[in-house]
């Protein structure tokens, strides 16, 4: 039923007649009469008895009036809750973050977001980027951090563009080089991340483009453990500069990767065409304001 017709009907009942309800409802008497007649037609019953002293509810009118009051109250609550969402007084941010780089990039931003919007609940999912991308497509997450390139089903906002470093044991023959060439990957075992990490996908694509088949050794999900493996002579690793700068390297040498064929380009991605919640829009705006150069 039309909420406006219900409101006019309730006003007529409250005022006891069409004339007195006209001023309260800010509508003419013919408009009120037409709205009530429309309700009576939809209900298939007379709702009001008209008389010289005003109007009186019929049995059907009593039933409709009771439900009309409840429906209008629900509508007001809905509008109030929508206003609260738009004003970020309530709501939820469902965010996906990968293990690599999130502590540096997103931990301070999440703390800032929480200070700005303490009423917003933050639901955080931490996984490799492939799992997070699928969660976005499935509607589990509003936004997730991942690496370029992303699939056609995503829209995204740039966050960080980082060069890659080759991490070598101090005793490695190439440790003194100014730049690490991609071809040198064939000389040592390569330590990779576990399945599901987008960085593996990028490294594999760059190796294929250079006609290189690396000798894989251990896979891990922890940057510190990978660095420990490198220091122990267990192989070499390729990591973004961001994740290395914040750590003290012991027994490990970081050599910039030559060329620009392999970059670590972090983005925040969401499902293309999706209507993002006000909380998600506020999160993206905060990140954009913090990374204006990107």
Residues 66 and 196 in one domain: no
Question: Do residues 172 and 151 both lie within one domain?
Answer: no
Taking only the tens place, the pLDDT of each residue in 173-206 is: 999 999 999 889 999 999 988 877 888 888 888 8
CA dihedral 128, 131, 136, 142 (to 10 degrees): -40
Q: Which of 50-54, 150-154, 163-167 has the lowest mean pLDDT?
A: 50-54
Q: Tell me, what's the pLDDT at 80?
A: 59
The answer to whether 263 touches 161, Cβ cutoff 8 Å, is: yes
Residue 294 confidence (pLDDT) above 50: no
**Domain span holding position 154:** 92-158+265-290
State the Cα–Cα distance between residues 30 and 57, nearest whole angstrom: 19
Whether residues 77 and 98 share a domain: the answer is no
Q: What are phi and psi of 200, to 5 degrees?
A: -60, -40
284 vs 290: which has the higher pLDDT = 284
CA distances from 132 to 98, 203, 224, 228 (A): 8, 19, 22, 27
For 37-50, what is the mean pLDDT? 88
Q: What band does 218 get if pLDDT is binned at 50, 70 and 90?
A: confident
Identify whether residues 166 and 244 lie together within a single domain.
yes
* Domain total of the chain: 3
Give the CATH number of the domain where residue 201 resides.
3.40.190.290
**What CATH number is given to the structural domain containing 19?**
1.10.10.10
């Amino acid at each position: 039923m039309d909420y406006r017709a219900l409101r006019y009907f309730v006003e007529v009942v409250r005022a006891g007649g069409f004339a007195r309800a006209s001023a309260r409802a800010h509508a003419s008497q013919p408009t009120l009469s037409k709205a009530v007649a429309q309700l009576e037609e939809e209900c298939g019953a007379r709702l009001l008895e008209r008389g010289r002293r005003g109007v009186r509810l019929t049995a059907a009118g009593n039933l409709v009036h009771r439900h009309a009051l409840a429906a209008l109250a629900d509508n007001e609550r809905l509008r109030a809750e929508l206003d609260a969402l738009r004003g970020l007084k309530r709501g939820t941010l469902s965010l996906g973050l990968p293990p690599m780089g999130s502590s540096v990039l997103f931990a301070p931003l999440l703390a800032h977001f929480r200070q700005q919007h303490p009423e917003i609940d933050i639901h955080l999912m931490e996984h490799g980027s492939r799992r997070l991308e699928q969660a976005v497509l499935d509607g589990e997450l509003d936004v997730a951090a991942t690496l370029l390139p992303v699939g056609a089903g995503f829209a995204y906002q740039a966050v960080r563009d980082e060069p890659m470093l080759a991490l070598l044991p101090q005793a490695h023959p190439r440790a003194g080089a100014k730049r690490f060439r991609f071809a040198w990957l064939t000389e040592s075992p390569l330590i990779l991340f576990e399945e599901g990490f987008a960085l593996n996908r990028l490294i594999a694509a760059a190796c294929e483009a250079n006609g290189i088949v690396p000798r894989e050794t251990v896979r891990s999900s922890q940057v510190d453990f990978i660095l420990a493996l490198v220091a122990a002579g267990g192989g070499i690793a390729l990591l973004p500069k961001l994740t290395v700068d914040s750590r003290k390297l012991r027994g490990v040498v970081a050599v910039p990767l030559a060329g620009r064929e392999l970059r670590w380009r972090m983005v925040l991605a969401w499902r293309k065409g999706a209507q993002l919640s006000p909380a998600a829009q506020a999160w993206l705006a905060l990140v954009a304001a913090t990374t204006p150069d990107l």
